[in-house]
Amino acid sequence: MNTSKILDRVYKNAKVIKFNDDSKYILFSDIHRGDNSLSDDFAHNQNIYCYALNYYFNKGYSYIEVGDGDELWEHNKFDHLRFAHSDIYCLLKKFYDKNRFIMLYGNHNMSFKYERYVRKNLDYFYDEYEEKKQELFKGINVHEAIILKHEKTEKEIFITHGHQGDFINYQIWFIMKFISRYIWRFLNIIGFRNPASPAKNRIKRHKIEKAYSKWIENNKKMMIIGHTHRPKFPHNGESSYFNTGCCVHPRNITGIEIYCGMISLIEWRIRPKEDGTLKISKKNIRGPFKVDDYM
């Protein structure tokens, strides 16, 4: 598999979105919203995630979901996920209705690659309380990649999920979906790790990161991905490879903020206060630094 050729194609077909130094974006990836059962890795972080999204909505940010927002490998029906996390989807709808929600698909929600599946599942949902169909994300387009292009400098930020450099999670994803749904979903509950997942396989993760860094160097582009679950913010002299991390860490969620011409790697977690009460708060892991320094 030639990762560079695949990324060339993805970049060529990416949707271009103009931004400027007043633009504000929050990027989260690998949320893996499930059915709120024991196999739902997102469930323990749902309150942190909801609090963070409310914060960004009220601050006027646009939300870019960088793939694997929904866990459609382990669960056959999207309706089960929407019902389990109905408050989350109501919040996402608020972003969408304000034209501030951009959704990318990853390997775990590759089904959104297909227009028919999107129209069937994302346009409307059945409201059990009102007993009628309600709009969800009517008319939404789910992208494989986007390019944020600066209005003045025309410099670009290439954003995609990152599974394109992973053979078993890209070219034979349907086989991995079957295995995940009928085998690893249950083994995960009792503590077994899926060796095919780059999030739990250090060698696979480093291989993907090396391939992406090579493409960045060859094309002189700034890139943001997810997929590996490992947050990354380059130091001086490193290639402009950024990774949002994920929302299924045991204790926190991580993401990337782009705001007022600056970029930061951030985390949200529950922290104890001096009086013993708990509070959800944000911390900058790296940054803020000027976006232009990496583009």
Residue range(s) defining the domain that contains residue 128: 3-293
Contact residues for 259 (Cβ-Cβ < 8 A; gap 6+): 23, 24, 25, 61, 288
Taking only the tens place, the pLDDT of each residue in 78-94 is 999 999 999 999 999 99
Please tell me which residue, 167 or 118, carries the higher pLDDT value: 118
pLDDT > 60? residue 194: no
Confidence of residue 9 (pLDDT cuts 50, 70, 90): very high
For residue 131 the two structure tokens come to 């007993």
Tell me the C-alpha to C-alpha distance, in Å, between residue 247 and each of 63, 114, 188, 267. Answer: 14, 25, 17, 10
pLDDT > 70? residue 187: no
Q: Whole-model pTM?
A: 0.90
> According to the model, what pLDDT value does residue 261 have?
92
pLDDT > 60? residue 95: yes
> According to the model, what pLDDT value does residue 177 have?
63
Buried b vs exposed e over 20-35: b needs ≥16 C-beta within 10 Å? Answer: eeebbbbbbbbbbbbb
Confidence of residue 295 (pLDDT cuts 50, 70, 90): confident
3-state secondary structure the chain: CCHHHHHHHHHHHCEEEEECCCCEEEEECCCCECCCCCCCCCHHHHHHHHHHHHHHHHCCCEEEEECCCECCCCCCCHHHHHHHCHHHHHHHHHHHHCCCEEEECCCCCHHHHCHHHHHHHHCEEEECCCCEEEECCCCCCCECEEEEEECCCCCEEEEECCHHHCHHHHCCHHHHHHHHHHHHHHHHHCCCCCCCCHHHCHHHHHHHHHHHHHHHHHHCCEEEECCCCCCECCCCCCCCEEECCCCCCCCEEEEEEEECCEEEEEEEEEEECCCCCEEEEEEEEEEEEEHHHCC
pLDDT > 80? residue 216: yes
> According to the model, what pLDDT value does residue 201 have?
59
Confidence of residue 237 (pLDDT cuts 50, 70, 90): confident
pLDDT > 80? residue 202: no
The C-alpha R_g of the chain, in whole angstroms, comes to: 18
Name the residue with tokens 């911390």.
283
Instruction: Give the lowest-confidence range in 69-73, 99-103, 196-200.
Output: 196-200
Instruction: Give the lowest-confidence range in 33-42, 136-145, 154-163.
Output: 33-42
Please tell me which residue, 185 or 264, carries the higher pLDDT value: 264
Residue 184 belongs to domain with CATH number: 3.60.21.10
pLDDT > 70? residue 199: no
> According to the model, what pLDDT value does residue 203 have?
65
Q: What is the identity of the amino acid at 273?
A: K
Taking only the tens place, the pLDDT of each residue in 247-271 is 999 899 999 999 999 999 999 999 9
Name the residue with tokens 């030639």.
2
